[in-house]
Amino acid sequence: MAVPSEKLVSRPIEIQADTTGYEDLLTPEALAFLARLHRFAEPRRRQLLEARRQRQACYDAGVLPDFRPDTQDIRQGDWTVAPIPTALQDRRVEITGPVERKMIINALNSGAKVFMADFEDSSAPSFANQLDGQLNLRDAVDGTLEYRAPEGKHYRVGANPAVLVIRPRGWHLPERHITVYGEPIAGALVDFGLFAFHNARKLHARERGPYFYLPKLEAMEEAALWNEVMALAEDELDLPYGCMKATVLIETLPAVFQMHEILHALRERVVGLNCGRWDYIFSYLKTFRGHRDRLLPDRGQVLMTVPFLKAYSELLIQTCHRRGAFAMGGMAAQIPIKNDEEANEQAMAKVRADKLREVQAGHDGTWVAHPALVAVAMEIFDRHMPTPNQLHVKRDDVQADRDTLIAPCGGTITRAGFDNNVEVALRYTAAWLEGLGCVPIHNLMEDAATAEIARSQLWQWLHHGSLEFTDHAPIDFALFDHALATHAHRLQGSTLPGARRAADAARLLAELTHDDELGNFLTLPAYEQLA
């Protein structure tokens, strides 16, 4: 793509990896564009990450999250977000998935309204994964995406594909293979920047983008930085201000107290908020890592109907609809079960119940993890949402105060729940280290967010001391070490994803779990070991 050259000043940007095959992607102009984004955003990104650390230190000292006094006027003010583009007016079912070639084609052809191409929770961000993903998406935008499977099946994108929305990495993850003046550039800027540079003008010309999902924000200032990065990119690419549209995942506990503020910071380009339930549960665990009175029970008991999650999703709907933005639902973890009709029907019933709860609560759309779930979710939304969205459902009845949003969650810790957490954390981390960002384990979709829940729960249960299972047996490190060794041995001797990296994953999880402090993100230390 030709970009006005006077706007692009060459920067000393370096790539610490083999770039063979990526020459068309990593052109001097594209790299100069990334360098410009980096120089603009990096100082603020670092401040924002520091602000996260300070906030967490307050929570560790006993402070409870709450609405901000300094932004009351934004919450009380009468304003709405900019009009939503036609291509995004009806998002009742969105499929998500990794940016792998065949899966992109399957997702675009799935019948879903939107495909969220994921550089984040379902991607292990090796240089090759992220760059191959960019090439695949560029081909998708150009209409040339095809794939021939080793067994001969030919894949190509059919008529009426889903609308493409890109999810870049969160602000916290570096891309160590690209440096500017020796500093690694943020992974978020690489994923966003390369996609925008190569595709934004083409999508804008067709009124089909560029659209983005923004993950793991914790504060309105982080949203404001995204707004400015997008404005800069629009300017560099000669695109009109506000044409890059964003949907923000509300998937951290601090962010639920700033939903109006986040919408406001992005009001000229935001289309909606999304209930990223898995990271949200992880964030509840992390925020309250020092609060013994807010331990969570087995993950299987932390359902969307428990008070703190119900309040979160309903407040999100009320907030969005008051501002004219969409309130997207989230992901049920169940995926189709092959060769067991009864178990499959039970899994599908759980997905149906989850989607029914969402549409009846007022959500404008939902997520599915697998093409076979598109029809399941579509049927529920079609039946209960005859209009393209339900912005008219205001939910003025919702009263989600601070205490409900952080309410403790009753339930039990079972041996099976403990063992499942060890297995999921280990198998997922091992697969991730091999380059796979999403894997099925015991017929559930497991990705970075669900693995974070598994390993954080283990840390919490072990470090708060003198906790017991339902049978009164103590929860202790000896049990954890034994379970980890057993699962690592089993994985190593299997043909499952992760078998080759089982020992590395076990070492990493042992360190993280024994550490006195609950680590910020599993994927940060794991990234150091990603091939």
Task: Please give the positions annotated as active site.
Answer: 167, 447
Residue 95 binds which entry of ligand ACO, Mg ion, ligand O=CC(=O)O, none, CB below 5-8 Å type-dependent: ligand ACO
- In this structure, are strands 154-156 and 439-441 parallel, antiparallel, or unpaired? unpaired
Q: Please tell me whether residue 363 binds ligand O=CC(=O)O under the rule CB under 6 A.
A: no
Residue 234 binds which entry of Mg ion, ligand ACO, ligand O=CC(=O)O, none, CB below 5-8 Å type-dependent: none
Q: Please tell me whether residue 121 binds ligand O=CC(=O)O under the rule CB under 6 A.
A: yes
Q: Please tell me whether residue 174 binds ligand O=CC(=O)O under the rule CB under 6 A.
A: no
Residue in the shown chain whose Cβ atom is closest to ligand ACO: 97
Among 330, 417, 437, 519, binds ligand O=CC(=O)O (CB under 6 A): 330
Q: Which of residues 6-25 bind ligand O=CC(=O)O (CB under 6 A)?
A: none
Phi, psi of 426, rounded to the nearest 5 degrees: -70, -50
Question: Residue 209 gets which letter from DSSP?
Answer: -
Among 165, 256, 315, 331, binds ligand O=CC(=O)O (CB under 6 A): 331
Burial 46-78 (b: 16+ CB within 10 A, else e): eebeeebeebbeebeeeeebebeeebeebbeee
Question: Do the beta carbons of residue 82 and residue 268 sit within 8 Å?
Answer: yes
Closest distance of CB 277 from ligand ACO, Å: 8
Phi, psi of 97, rounded to the nearest 5 degrees: 175, 165
Structure tokens at 361: 């609560």
For the chain, what is the radius of gyration of the CA atoms?
22
DSSP states of 252-302: SHHHHTTHHHHHHHTTTTEEEEEE-HHHHHHHHHHHTTT-GGG----GGG-
Q: How far apart are CA 158 and CA 135, in angstroms?
A: 19
Q: What is the largest CA-CA distance in the chain?
A: 71
Return the number of the residue (120 or 236) whose C-beta is nearest ligand O=CC(=O)O: 120
Residue 122 binds which entry of Mg ion, ligand ACO, ligand O=CC(=O)O, none, CB below 5-8 Å type-dependent: ligand ACO
**Please, which residues have CB within 8 angstroms of residue 415's CB and are 6 or more apart in sequence?**
469, 470, 471, 473
Please give the size of the binding site for ligand O=CC(=O)O, defined by CB under 6 A: 10
Q: Which of residues 104-143 bind Mg ion (CB under 5 A)?
A: 121
Q: Please tell me whether residue 116 binds ligand O=CC(=O)O under the rule CB under 6 A.
A: no
Q: Please tell me whether residue 279 binds ligand O=CC(=O)O under the rule CB under 6 A.
A: yes
Closest distance of CB 497 from ligand O=CC(=O)O, Å: 20
Closest distance of CB 429 from Mg ion, Å: 16
Q: Please tell me whether residue 253 binds Mg ion under the rule CB under 5 A.
A: no
Question: Do the beta carbons of residue 502 and residue 488 sit within 8 Å?
Answer: yes
Q: Which of residues 435-464 bind ligand O=CC(=O)O (CB under 6 A)?
A: 449
* Residue 243 host element (H or E): none
Place of tokens 């024994």: 514
Return the number of the residue (31 or 48) whose C-beta is nearest Mg ion: 48
Closest distance of CB 509 from ligand ACO, Å: 19
Q: Please tell me whether residue 278 binds ligand O=CC(=O)O under the rule CB under 6 A.
A: yes
Task: Name the residues that contact ligand O=CC(=O)O, by CB under 6 A.
Answer: 121, 249, 251, 276-279, 330-331, 449
